[in-house]
Structure 1
Amino acid sequence: MQAGRLLNVLILATFAILETCGRTTQSPCDINNGQCSDKCVPYQNYQIRYDNLPSGYYCACPRGKALFRGTLCLPRNHPCFNYRYCMSNEKCVPTGSRDGYGYRCDCKKGYIPRENGRGCRPAPVRRTTPAQTTVVGGQRRTLRTRITPAPVFTNLTTPAPTAAPHPCDVNNGDCEHRCRRTSSTTRVCECRLGYRLLGDGLSCEEVDPCENNGGCSDVCIANWPNRTCSCRIGYKLGSDQKTCIDVDECWEGTARCEQDCINEQGSYRCACQRGYSLKQGNRCEDIDECRINNGGCSDSCYNTPGSYKCHCPPGFYLLSDGKNCEQKWKCSRYGCEHNCQHPIIQFEPYCTCNTGYMLTQDQKHCTDMDECRLGFHKCSHSCQNTVGGYQCSCPAGMKLAADQRTCECKVYTS
């Protein structure tokens, strides 16, 4: 009686331990990451919901990937997400090669590989009789016998006509990938996406997506079985996603120029406005014109952003050339008939005449210059002096050309 009680106590204690272990608070993701290839996420409050959910967690994938068969994260464009890569009696198995895009096609349950290694065929079905129990040598054994259907004989003299099987039903028509029926007696072999048919019309070979550069004008990036076109720096893909066109960095505002931007094929260059020079980092630095030959100023030179200015001392004014200074009071008393010039480098002013005139002996007054007599004219034939200038003339049968200096023959029309 006491032994029976002790046994009951041990049994109850065992059930208590099992019940405590069954309600563990450990997260399912703590055990081998829940078999997830990436992130394992337990359900919120999984301690309560775990009894009602078979797993108590789910697998999550990063951006750009999708969940495959519950636990494996693959790129969204992986071949295993496309039914065209494997036949209906095959299953797609990722291999991890080809930068994560590799795969192979295995036979599904109930199918075995064909003898030629191309595709799968139904596995032979073996039938057995119900188990029978017998006594052999004093021991009870269960025997199973295999049933082989008895051959059925018909009229041996006249065999029953049977329809010839379609070529696709016999060894997949010898096609490596797919066999497509074109009629009741003919077929054509086809290849899965990413492959092409060889010359024998049966075999398939893998196609390099970047063969012949994949139709890309610049760079082809293989992403088997697809490809992506890319461009070098300074270019971008056009609307056809194949051709590379120049990027106008100046127009798009991506250029880093301080002042002017000049676009070039595949690049750009920076330039500076007048009065600035281009420095390292495409910076524009002001040029100090006054440091070189005083900027050409006869007196003082003052640098300004992108330019400079000449200044004159008191009693002088800046001439129209913007560089030379003239003394106001000396020229006003010097008595020049036409123009008075007084650079600072010269102590005394001097007079000048307008075009077509020349100074007289007093170096102050001006008189008409006889260009014809002095030989300062450009007439091809006759020259006639005028006040402040001269006129050209031509002999009979000729006329002045458009330059009013050269003579040319007249053209007579009847």
Structure 2
Amino acid sequence: MSTGPTDIVRNSTHVFAAICKQPCLNGGRCVRPDTCNCPTGYIGKTCASDRNECATRNGGCAQVCRNTRGSFRCTCHTGFVLDGNGLTCSDHDECKTSFHGCQQKCQNHRGSYICGCYDGYTLTEDARTCRDVDDCASNPCQQNCIDLVNGYQCTCHLGYKVSEDDNTTCDAMCPQGCGNGGYCESPGICSCAEGWSGHSCETPLCGAGCVQGECVQPDICICTSGWEGDACDSDVNECASENGGCDHICINSPGSFECDCHTGYLLSENGQSCSDHDECSDDGHGCEFCENTAGSYRCICPDGFVIGPDGKTCEDIDECSSSPCQQGCSNIPGSFNCSCEPGFVLDANGLDCSDIDECTLNQHACEQGCVNTYSWYTCTCNNGYRLGSDGTSCPDVDECADKNLNDCPQECVNTVGGHQCKCFSGFAQTEEGCQAVCQPSCANDGICVAPGMCKCSNGWTGNSCNEDVNECEDGTNTCSHICNNVDGGFLCSCQVGYELINSHECVDINECEVSNKCQSGCENTEGSYVCTCETGYMLDTNGFSCSDHDECAAGEHGCDYCANTLGSYSCFCPENYYMELDGKTCSPVCDPPCENGGLCTAPNTCNCTDGWRGKRCGWEAKVNHWTRNTTGCQCYFDNTRFDCACCVLGGCQCDSARSNQCVQCGYGHTCTEEYDAENRMGIDAWTLTESGCPCLDSDNNYGCACCRNRGCACGKTAPNRCTQCGLPFMCYLKKPWEE
């Protein structure tokens, strides 16, 4: 096939090149006569038409696909930002930026956000700013209300604190805290919700208990491995299902199981089946004579022998070791003989021995009594006699000469085989012995202890115990205060302010518990009492009533600003100041608060630390226009990390190699460029210069901003500023570092 002279030409190196009569556009290359090879993003015979990538599967974009000449780009709906992959979108947390416009609080929502106010303020009609609520004129406080400039502060009585829920009612204070739905019922005492107990309601209650687990919530147990049931008292028995697959024995254990075999069997390698073990086939049994059995073996011995203590060797049977004889035994091979000790005779059964009764057979030498004993006999004597040294005779016993046998209280007369007792003159014989005789007899429970001598009971004296003892005079009374003598005794009484106990002891009467004139507190003293006042009150001159004590006037408060209350005082702070944790010191309020270590030195005035700037110290001194902070935000390439850069609106994080830098979304290739914060070009991310380019309303006026990064001029709203195309509201916002 030949080609016309206009289709192919020879170049200087004698190589033929194709000729396209209509030139290839937009970077297309002529590869054959009148045939263009178009670059990505263009189509058509001469590559003159743009390819609409968005027409096919939305260009792969998750939300919005915007076709551009020769390319396309993905964008996101308002409230979302483009991810680093340039395709997917993530929710934009407007509350973490400075562009939300909320005066006080900001709450992020998916694709949007809402503004809120601090306690004591309400949201105005513009849904962004907050205004102050009414003050004490509306009586908002439950107990005490301190009128402040443009506001109020509620305070409470001793032992209570202002409720954190509404800052107006007063809650009892429990320093230990009342958790798990419990509440502070009174100062220091928690009322726990059902199912909880403890000083701070920290202990859950499980009615049935948690036997093998832990009670983590009321009536909810977390069981340890291998246990189940509401009370964790049921073991998970793996052996209950098909014996756990075991051939013989399945041994269940908490949280597991294992197979085992009956004695004499071996567990196979599969850990489940069992086979008989022939113990006699190896040398491990140790028997002199071995006999294998199913699942076991046994050691055996010939007749006349028995397995020894080791259970394996054979020994001669020692019949005497089982004590078949009552007394003596002699072992012989295959048998034994019994014998008896002296005083016994072998019975007809050849095993037992019977005692010989010497007393019954009159084979003894006793003078009086004979008692047979085991293998012998013992001689005894009648009362009044004792056994002689020969062990058989019985001579008379002189009981009167033996102090161990003489039981007479006064005189003793010995008789043959016994003795008699007699009394001295002045004593009479009674069943109890010799009793002294007194004439006249002892009165008032007195006791005759010797002839004519009485021992008087307490409170009486005299020969016949008929004279009263005055215990109050002789010092023998036990009264702690006052003694009153009576016949045969005394009575005790007490001084004013005391009462009698135990019939003799006087103890102080606690008038504070019985009756007193105190209007507030009462303190008992020995024999009396004094009145006291609660903290914050002083005792009046009458000694009974109390009046309020003005701690503020007395300088006994320690507050920066003090307001006296009935029985106490309150520390408060003026507008734009807040109370420190000590409850006394006032510090200025910066709202929003200073960031990155900045100090609030005056209301809404931050003193920034080195390296930070801005009204709230929220911007690093040396970061680019897209990087708010070099660290502190979640990393897009690793959601478990929060040490990557925080980006401003329109900025995206760089890759892991430069995780502390942000660039304009879609310009990730610029992450590799070094950034000089001191010599940066342009006014902000979108504005190159504030003037020098034609204004939108007049081509002859070059006093408007010049844009960069494909930014769009703000126009009349801000003629010297550019913004990201499609986000005109940013023309009204301050530059990020000017906040």
TM over 0.5: no
Q: Quick check: which has more Rg, 1 or 2?
A: 2
TM-score, length-normalised on structure 1?
A: 0.28
TM-score, length-normalised on structure 2?
A: 0.17
Which structure has more helix as a fraction of its residues? Answer: 1
